[in-house]
Amino acid sequence: MMYAAIMGYGTIGSGVAEILTECKDKITRSAGQEICLKYVLDLREFPDSPVADRIIHDFQVIESDPQIRLVVETMGGLNPACSFVKACLKAGKHVITSNKALVEAHGTELMEIARENKVNFLFEASVGGGIPIIRTLYRCLMGEEIQEITGILNGTTNFILTKMDQEGAAFEKALKEAQELGYAEQDPSADVEGHDTCRKIAILTAMATGREVHYEQIHTEGITRITDVDFQYARKMGMSIKLLGTARISGDKALAMVAPVMIGSENPLYGVRGVYNGILVKSQMLGETMYYGSGAGKLPTASAVVADLIEAVQQDKEPVSAGWRNEQQLMEESGKFRYRYFVRIEGAAAQKKEQIQKAFGDAETIVLEGTDEFALLTGEFFEEEFVKRAIGFDTESQKAGEDGIRQMIRVQVQ
Ligand SMILES: NC(=O)c1ccc[n+]([C@@H]2O[C@H](COP(=O)([O-])OP(=O)(O)OC[C@H]3O[C@@H](n4cnc5c(N)ncnc54)[C@H](OP(=O)(O)O)[C@@H]3O)[C@@H](O)[C@H]2O)c1
């Protein structure tokens, strides 16, 4: 029997406790021994819960109990999660976390401490909720060079964009509905500004390259500027708009970005709707693989935590090498991304033919009946080149006393 403690009895922590009870026999068979939940650390009491007799409030109890070999961190945030996790690793306990903020900000240091103390530090649930993507990268694709990872990594924004796409809803209305259904926080900025997706793509890029990547290094745009009019154009072009976290790896360099992108129906991520997540991985020999499922929620996320618990038991004597080295990944400027561009411009296309040709070369024109504008779908440019061309177009427009570009959305190049 191996004894475990859970730190944080919230959505995910209570899910882990539930699965440990519900699926006890299967877990015992897989782990080769029983996992027994001894303590649940939280700030509150849970008198009516099945773990009422195991609730504690003092972290020292876990740290100093030599019987505790497994610790689950599902408190969230950095403080005190980071110091508790460090102390557990130093005390020779395996730690499993669902906390992406912790993994992104302190993963390198925690992985080193785990190596020094010959224990497992596992974090499958920190990206993609219940979708097995972290283990896929360090286990299933361990012989592959990863060339690209593109993911819909945030269920809240995907729910909002799906509502806008399928029901023609405005951003604010779709956000309100997400909040009413409990999919979005009252302060939704971490989701809608793209920061949550950014942390996750930073972790996936680090997993793929074996080097540290920080979210400050990744150009990030959210979905707050996307409108129902953009979706009207997208539908006319047979496309949808998704918030994508993308990392491309070539040689010793990586290129990463978080931004809303138009994708066509031929893209496997096109069909990822609602709160679901999808992650597309391109690797050297295998080619494209796609991972799809519940990217959040109590039991899906807790399922990933439990799988990590089982792996930690199996690898008790020989910890898993999952993570990255204490070495900075070289990141390219986001200007090196190559896309086509969807651009909305005030006025009539016929009157701006020359100006458009001068700025963007040959571009397709899309007109929405009953509007005072038109849109272009440009050819393929490096982002740095497109920006120069767009500035040129705006300058010409200003000279003519007209508004410039109203909206720009990147369009995936297959
Ligand atoms: N929810 C999801 O679907 C999901 C999916 C993937 C990953 N995650 C990640 O998993 C982590 C946990 O998320 P969650 O949704 O389960 O959060 P949650 O429901 O807020 O649960 C956190 C729990 O930890 C407790 N806690 C906070 N600080 C504590 C402390 N110092 N000592 C003891 N207990 C403390 C909280 O108590 P109080 O409520 O009293 O503050 C709460 O019961 C986060 O890092 C999150 O990003 C969540």
User: Rounded to whole angstroms, how far apart are CA atoms 224 and 272?
Assistant: 20
**What topology does CATH give the domain 2-130+299-326?**
Rossmann fold (3.40.50)
β-bridge pairing 276-283 and 287-294: antiparallel
Task: Judge contact between 53 and 22, C-beta under 8 A.
Answer: no
Residue with tokens 């519900």: 22
**CB < 8 Å & 24+ apart, contacts of 14-18:** 14/49, 14/51, 14/298, 15/298, 15/299, 15/301, 15/302, 15/303, 15/305, 16/72, 16/74, 16/302, 16/305, 16/306, 16/309, 17/50, 17/51, 18/50, 18/298, 18/299, 18/302
Q: Is 173 a catalytic residue?
A: no
Spell out, as residue ranges, where the chain has pLDDT lower than 50: none
Looking from the CA of residue 98, the nearest atom of ligand 1 is 10
Amino acid 404: pLDDT: 87
DSSP code of 51? T
The domain spans of the chain are 2-130+299-326, 136-293, 337-411
**Ligand 1: which residues within 6 Å by Cβ?**
8-13, 41-44, 74-76, 80, 98-100, 125, 129, 296-297, 301
408 Cα–ligand 1 center, Å? 37
CATH topology of domain 136-293: Dihydrodipicolinate Reductase; domain 2 (3.30.360)
Per the residue annotation, which of 93, 100, 163, 200 is the catalytic one?
200
Residue 7 has a pLDDT of 98
Kindly report, residue by residue over 51-61, the tens digit of the pLDDT: 999 999 999 99
Rounded Cα gap, residues 74 and 127, in angstroms: 14
61-64's contacts with Cβ under 8 Å and 24+ in sequence apart are 62/5, 62/7, 62/88, 63/87, 63/88, 63/91, 64/91
C-alpha to C-alpha distance for 97 and 122, rounded to whole angstroms: 6
pLDDT at res. 400: 84
The residue whose CA has the least distance to atom 39 of ligand 1 is: 10
Q: Report pLDDT for 401.
A: 85
Which tens digit of pLDDT belongs to each residue from 348-372?
999 999 999 999 999 999 999 999 9
What was the pLDDT predicted at 63? Answer: 98
Which CATH number applies to 337-411: 3.30.70.1710, 3.40.50.300, 3.40.640.10, 3.40.1160.10?
Answer: 3.30.70.1710
CA distance linking residue 337 with residue 289, whole number of Å:
22
Residue 198 Cα to ligand 1 midpoint, Å, equals: 20
Give the distance from CA 247 to its chain's centroid: 11
Average pLDDT of the chain? Answer: 96
- Report which residue type is found at 85: V
Find the helix packing angle between 171-180 and 155-167, rounded to 10°.
130
**pTM beyond 0.85:** yes
Q: What is the pLDDT of residues 186-221, one digit of tens each?
A: 999 999 999 999 999 999 999 999 999 999 999 999
- pLDDT score at 4: 98
**Cα–ligand 1 centroid distance for 18 (angstroms):** 16
Nearest to 174 by CA among 261, 275, 244: 275
Q: Which two tokens stand for residue 21?
A: 């009870």
Distance CA 89, CA 69 (A): 10
Cα dist. 167→163, 175, 228, 231, 384 in Å?
A: 5, 13, 9, 10, 35
Nearest ligand 1 atom to alpha carbon 57: 33
Unique residue bearing structure tokens 């040709």: 357
